[in-house]
A = this chain, B = another copy of it.
Amino acid sequence: MPIRLSNLFLRTLREDPNEAEVASHKLLLRAGYIRRAAPGIYTWLPLGLAVKNKVEQIVREEMNNAGAQEVFFPALLPREAYETTGRWTEYGDNLFRLQDRKKADYLLAPTHEEMFTLLVKDMYSSYKDLPLCLYQIQNKYRDEARPRAGLLRGREFVMKDAYSFDVTDEGLARAYQSQRDAYERIFTRLGVEYVIVKADAGAMGGSASEEFLSPSPIGEDTFVRSAGGYAANVEAVKTPIPAALPIEGQPAAVVHDSPNTPTIATLVDLANEKVKRAEGRSWTSADTLKNVVLALTSPEGKRSLVIVGLPGDREVDAKRAEVAFAPNDVEPATEADFAANPALVKGYIGPVTDGVKVLGADSTSKIRYLLDPRVVDGTAWITGANIDQKHVFDLVKGRDFDADGIADIAEVRAGDQAPDGSGPLELARGIEIGHVFQLGRKYAEALDLKVLDENGKLVTVTMGSYGIGVTRLVAVLAEANRDDKGLIWPASVSPADIHVVAAGKDEEVYAAAEKLVAQLEAAGKTVIYDDRVKVSPGVKFGDAELIGVPQIVIVGKGLEQGEVDLWNRSSGERRAVRLESALAELV
């Protein structure tokens, strides 16, 4: 049966709704694909549901082709397993928690590692049962702080999540590759542009991890790539560690007065004015060591400070810091933090005062001190003397100061060298549409998923986790395929194959259109048929452009000459063909 616009549950909007920020969101609302039910929570109208189902079906087919088996887990789950792995707490405010009538704790699952692990433990016990790959396409819940851009970042959303189970690391690597290949097929079939970038496993634990990003100016993820083929999420970029420099022969550290230098720029100006540099070069912000005080809040709510020293020409990247200090929340230290730590001289913080260590776990302040990877032994810095209005020059790492470890949280900049030596990096924005992880044995260990190996010995299973944002993909597809008139779906996910417009008032037009629609459907095509008698051709054309089926057929004025118009929504090309040959062209 065709979808008839005379009775389709649809009301297209001429105006952009106030609630929508990005183009795809506006168009999905205007064209009647979705409606908002609550922040980040959407209702799928008939056209939207058709697109969502097509995306799901492509994902399902490629999962099945990759040998994964479909199951379906509850969304409402008891606390226990998530407590065991620590995620009940680690998820913080992002987790929807509730209690049932017996006051037992439940959650709305944001992802199902725990449950898949327990299910396999329940069912399987031998290496012979493996490898195994399971998946589901299911509603997930995440209480995002800032739900955004309609389906792009929702609080209730559909994900395909798959999990692999193997005995050996090689098995896991094969499963990972198999899912990765399936993802490439899926995104290719969907017609979505994507980049595979190295990712940080973050709160998910595990080792190898890659993200599939769809490049887009509205993307929330920044990624880098080099001409030589390196690509990574900025959170995953590991700054190359330069070789250490010789300490011998370096000038001694000297403290200088530095009044009114609250910023790196004023400090550099003062340095160039007052302190001649041995080599004759001028000082730049890259010669300064900025000590940034961060406050970490653990999932249990415990607050602690950490200080990170990084070259003065770099800022802290909030997302890289978040990943580096996960599962803690990270924020800049507040006035209250400084008040509680009088050892820190704000604006003049430095690792040593008169040769006495003031930053570091074993220092007088007892505050953990970490350094940017570029701050290697033998490098000399201008940094705070931890005395008001004084800085120290030529403070040499490894000679004059040291730290508790490395914090690789400085911003990544265009022009930085790729870690693999493949050349300078460029930055771009993307939307995460898929993620593949080698989880390893973290969940299996926590939940005791073991099988007997060939020698009858119990071994812990190794797992992978593979996600695709199904509803997010609908937004990504809409965002990438549109113009100022409306949506332009790729054929693979269009709500129908063909949109037939009966343009006119004569009965002959409707009779001819009705016949064409029946023939198209008989040939296996799905059809949206605009059979609204009292609606003008102009409005019908506008709705066809807004709805965005890639192939439009107009049955109208040309009918007297025995012709219909074929209208390509994407190219805009519109040409008359004989009614008889229209069918042949379209099927």
Contacts of A70 in B (CB 8 A): 46, 49
Q: Looking at the assembled complex, report how far the CB atom of A473 sits from the nearest CB atom of chain B, in whole angstroms.
A: 16
Query: How far apart are the CA atoms of A69 and B74 in the complex, in Å?
Result: 26
The answer to whether A37 touches B73 (Cβ under 8 A) is yes
Q: Considering the complex, which residues of chain A in the window 76-129 have a beta carbon less than 8 Å from any beta carbon of chain B?
A: 76-78, 93-94, 96-98, 100-101, 106, 108, 115, 119, 122-124
Contacts of A37 in B (CB 8 A): 73-74, 77-78, 115
The answer to whether A43 touches B72 (Cβ under 8 A) is yes
The answer to whether B96 touches A97 (Cβ under 8 A) is no
The answer to whether A75 touches B9 (Cβ under 8 A) is no
The answer to whether A101 touches B145 (Cβ under 8 A) is yes
Q: Considering the complex, which residues of chain A in the window 30-44 have a beta carbon less than 8 Å from any beta carbon of chain B?
A: 32, 35, 37-38, 41-44
The answer to whether A122 touches B35 (Cβ under 8 A) is yes
Q: Looking at the assembled complex, report how far the CB atom of A283 sits from the nearest CB atom of chain B, in whole angstroms.
A: 46
Query: How far apart are the CA atoms of A41 and B100 in the complex, in Å?
Result: 12
The answer to whether A9 touches B155 (Cβ under 8 A) is no
Cross-interface CB contact of A9 among B77, B94, B132, B145, cutoff 8 Å:
B132
Q: Looking at the assembled complex, report how far the CB atom of A73 sits from the nearest CB atom of chain B, in whole angstroms.
A: 5
A303 an interface residue at 8 Å Cβ cutoff? Answer: no
Interface residues of A, dominant DSSP: mixed
A11 an interface residue at 8 Å Cβ cutoff? Answer: yes
Q: A43-B115, A98-B96, A119-B43 are in contact. Are A71 and B38 (CB under 8 A)?
A: no
Contacts of A494 in B (CB 8 A): none
The answer to whether B42 touches A156 (Cβ under 8 A) is no
The answer to whether B9 touches A76 (Cβ under 8 A) is no
Contacts of A9 in B (CB 8 A): 69, 71, 123, 132, 134
Query: How far apart are the CA atoms of A119 and B41 in the complex, in Å?
Result: 14
Q: Considering the complex, which residues of chain A in the window 423-466 have a beta carbon less than 8 Å from any beta carbon of chain B?
A: none
**Identical subunits present:** 2
The answer to whether B71 touches A44 (Cβ under 8 A) is yes
A45 an interface residue at 8 Å Cβ cutoff? Answer: yes
Q: Looking at the assembled complex, report how far the CB atom of A46 sits from the nearest CB atom of chain B, in whole angstroms.
A: 5
A339 an interface residue at 8 Å Cβ cutoff? Answer: no
The answer to whether A143 touches B71 (Cβ under 8 A) is no
Contacts of A78 in B (CB 8 A): 37-38
Q: A35-B119, A115-B43, A132-B9 are in contact. Are A96 and B71 (CB under 8 A)?
A: no
A1 an interface residue at 8 Å Cβ cutoff? Answer: yes
Q: List 29 A-B contacts (CB under 8 A).
A: A7-B132, A9-B71, A9-B132, A10-B123, A35-B123, A37-B74, A37-B77, A37-B115, A38-B106, A41-B74, A41-B76, A41-B77, A43-B71, A43-B73, A43-B74, A44-B72, A45-B71, A46-B70, A49-B71, A49-B72, A76-B141, A96-B100, A97-B98, A98-B98, A98-B108, A101-B143, A101-B145, A108-B108, A139-B139
Q: 19 other contacts beyond A41-B77, A52-B72, A75-B156, with CB at 8 A cut-off?
A: A9-B69, A9-B71, A9-B132, A9-B134, A11-B123, A37-B115, A44-B71, A46-B69, A46-B71, A49-B70, A75-B75, A76-B96, A76-B108, A76-B141, A98-B98, A100-B143, A100-B155, A101-B145, A139-B139
Closest 3 CB pairs of A and B: A98-B98, A44-B72, A93-B101
